[in-house]
Amino acid sequence: MFVQTQMTIRHNPNLYRYLRENSYWYKYLNRSPAFIKEMEQEMKSRYKLTPEDKMEKFSSRLDMITSIIDVLT
Q: pTM score, two decimals?
A: 0.79
- Give the residue from 1, 10, 63 showing the smallest Cα distance to 35: 1
The predicted-structure confidence for 10-64, as pLDDT tens digits, reads as follows: 999 999 999 999 999 999 999 999 999 999 999 999 999 999 999 999 999 999 9
Q: CA 65 to CA 45: how far, in whole Å?
A: 26
